[in-house]
Structure 1
Amino acid sequence: MISDLPRDMEEEVLSKLPMTSLRRARFTCKRWNNTLSKDWSFTRKYNGEAAKRKESQPIGKLDDAGVDIINVFHCQGLLLCVTKDGTRLIVWNPFTGQTRWIKPRDSYHRCDRYALGYEKKNNYPLKVLRFVDDYYRNLNRRVYKFEIFNLNSSSWKVVDFNPDWIIPYIYPGLSLKGNTYWFAENKVAPGKIGRVFLLCFNFTTESFGPRLRLPFRGRYGDTLTLSSVREEQLAVLFQECAPVYILKVWISSKVGPSAVSWNKVFLSVDMRPLIGFQFHCFAGSFFVDEKNNAVVVIDKTRGLPFTIRNMAYVLGENGYFKSVDLGDFAPMKCWPLVCSYVPSLVKF
């Protein structure tokens, strides 16, 4: 009987199936459906096997359904999308096509920040973090709101929290192992610049952890972005502002909600003779190719409107450099984003 298979053997068999067969296999028995749609550990195992087979599968388009997206947040094959008008929120699995609209507790705001993650117990429920820390002119004061939406219970929870730090809007978060990491700064007096550090939101404890050390000392105007390596480690890109333009990338050796340690510099490149400008703080998303000791940075060209293009810049050892035109004109206020995407069969 299928249901009599040991769990490890069951996962081993399922991990060998091609992606197109997994959808049908999910309905073979209830236990397999639970394994394929709810077990994040199996998802990681399957993604590893699929990568060995170099298997790929086309994904759908959300705009085919008439949904206009302005921002996305990625978490292990799932996307949390914010509509262009800033009033709607949707979770989308591009591989299976499943979508789910999330209604606000009261209303969404244009300055809201979001993250998608999951709890590491109780069947790994998906959760959405929504927070705003912004100055409201009509109220003449800053407003703090921290709320968590549980997709299992379809309910919002208000978190009473008044931090002594801020997460600047220019810094997007990064999901890793179900939690989310951000660059943050200490709150300081007007006109002064706070120290930059790393913060992690733990979706299991539903709280922010302590300040985490970065391998550099940044300042206002520097480019700072996060990426993940093999869904196991953090990578951080740091580029000094003019006139130096030195770009450096580090990869963590250990990372968790309460502690992080860093390896030595993975790559250091003087960008001044290569492109002559600094990657924008809104852009500069990147991914790391450990095997070839290279980094690919996504940004835009500089120039007049209607001439700006989305670009990929490949940086490697011994001065290796290559620029690739991605073939799209880039709207002035839109910035390209790259993330390490692998298909997921998780349902929500």
Structure 2
Amino acid sequence: MPRWKALPQELDPQVREFAGQLRGLVDRSGLGLAAVADRTGYSKTSWERYLNGRLLAPKGAVVALAEATGTPQQHLTTMWELAERAWSRSEMRHDMTMEAIRISQARAALGEAGVAAAPLAAGRAAGGGGVSTAAAPGERGRDAGRPPSDPVRHGAAPRIPQQPLPGGVRDHEGRQGGGRRKVTLFLTGTVGALMLLAGAVLLTDLGGGEDGTGAAAATPSARPATSGPGLPAGVGCTGADCTGQDPEAMGCGGQFAGTVARATVGGGLVEVRYSETCGAAWARITQASPGDTVRITAGPAEQEGTVDADADAYTPMVAVERAADAEACATLASGTTGCTTPE
């Protein structure tokens, strides 16, 4: 079964080439996505999107991948800049297409509104001042020859009571204002309906999630939105608060972590990863097989992780005062076991 999914057919050739370059770097490094996420500080889910062409990797992720794989940053960032321009052009074309669709829908809705407003315009032209010549339900037809200024005193359609008008304004002028209010309310309702329609189209455009049918609202990041007092930006815990937490999600990996002990168990590499910033350690195993497990212990504290199809895994964190307090051990599906020794 191939490791990578086929890239989307509609992907720009420049973006397609860049995604292929990133895939090649990961393949040559021998790292699984969990290890890439741990070493770069960007989540495994985000890397799945980047490497499958559903989202363009941000420049920071590209630089972090270059550092993790020992690749010269200059060439990789040059490729990223070309891909970023192509991605922006594709987004612009998509936005223009959606704008054209919204304009077409708005014109169609306004056309229907014009048909509905025609009787009002005809009544205004025939009766003058916005007084309708159509008979209300249960009302006899009005005399077509009656002057517009002569108020209707018999058989008029019921109206909503209104406050007295100032300055001796005549009754027919009040009805003229009522007619204008009806037209205004009608048009207001039409505009409101169009705004709701545009909002629904926009929400549909922005939706989609991981299947790539819509743009992401923001670049995915595993880092917490806030940091604790005195911690670097993106770091979400320290000491005992880190126990049981995902080092990737808490921002303790990447530039804030290093390997302090390692061992080869079977064909896999077991490491103790330690973050002085977070005051915590976790275990990682790479080049392993599905079903292999890795464990981190520090005194009575213990956390465990299991290898999946990515051939690597890491554990949640345990709080430690010193790097030497933590030990990582692996138990392979074959039954082989082994633990790290401090470097």
Same fold (TM over 0.5): no
| Greater length-normalized contact order (CA 8 Å, ≥ 6 residues apart) | 2
In terms of fraction of residues, the more strand-rich structure is: 1
In terms of fraction of residues, the more helix-rich structure is: 2
Instruction: Tell which structure's C-alpha radius of gyration is larger.
Output: 2
Q: TM-score range by the shorter chain?
A: under 0.3
